[in-house]
A and B are shown apart, each in its own frame.
Chain A
Amino acid sequence: DQQVKQNSPSLSVQEGRISILNCDYTNSMFDYFLWYKKYPAEGPTFLISISSIKDKNEDGRFTVFLNKSAKHLSLHIVPSQPGDSAVYFCAASPPGGGNNRKLIWGLGTSLAVNP
């Protein structure tokens, strides 16, 4: 049972345009969300995160939007660049706190930015 879903396995965008990657979750108690970027044969790199008390967080070309009522978040990349071509993973932090923090991961969306 996939608690974090990235329903689009792939996305293709023209350079300079906006890339929108989507993520849905099922557990309304998730309180923190993260986006990671992964190139082939490398470890994922942390991109941006958002707490459930916010609905938007921005860092340069990357903005994450959170819609708690819809249990949906999205990552916007503007403008998209060829170097953004990678697999993007959405992850959520389950409730409970404590020291043993695990993340619940989506299956990823492969973004291709075409020159």
Chain B
Amino acid sequence: SQTIHQWPATLVQPVGSPLSLECTVEGTSNPNLYWYRQAAGRGLQLLFYSIGIDQISSEVPQNLSASRPQDRQFILSSKKLLLSDSGFYLCAWSVRTDTQYFGPGTRLTVL
């Protein structure tokens, strides 16, 4: 069966510091991968999606970036965090269907 992992579970970072969140999927090949952010009390905002290694599409302009160095690994990064980057970050995968399956999420607090 397929599983998706995200780490860390929680993160507190100062403004201006770098960020690296990692997501890995097991039990499937060639998944579509997605990064979402949920700000406090808001809906799900799609940040990036990827249909393959090194194939990344950005949905919103921001100081975040994503990379997919391996088929089942998706990384969300920032060189300098802003206060507005605080939120709950979710990774998701899908294969050949519209149904997306989500990881447990990372709670990021920027102080």
Chain A residues in the interface with B (C-beta under 8 A):
32, 34, 36, 41-46, 49, 89, 93, 99-103, 105-108
Check B101–A46 contact: CB distance below 8 A: yes
* In the assembled complex, B28 has its CB within 8 A of some CB on chain A: no
Check B107–A107 contact: CB distance below 8 A: no
Check A34–B90 contact: CB distance below 8 A: no
Closest to A104 in B: B46
Looking at chain B's contact residues, is the secondary structure mostly helix, strand, loop, or mixed?
A: strand
Looking at chain A's contact residues, is the secondary structure mostly helix, strand, loop, or mixed?
A: loop
Interface residues on B, range: 20 to 34
* In the assembled complex, B57 has its CB within 8 A of some CB on chain A: yes
CA distance A46 to B94 in the complex (A): 12
Check B107–A41 contact: CB distance below 8 A: yes
Given contacts A41-B105, A106-B43, contact A100 B99 (CB under 8 A): no
Contact pick for B32, options A42, A100, A107, CB 8 Å = A100
CA distance A15 to B111 in the complex (A): 41
Check A103–B100 contact: CB distance below 8 A: yes
Contact pick for B43, options A41, A100, A105, CB 8 Å = A105
Instruction: Determine how close the nearest CB of chain A comes to the CB of B16; give it in whole angstroms.
Output: 26
Check B49–A42 contact: CB distance below 8 A: no
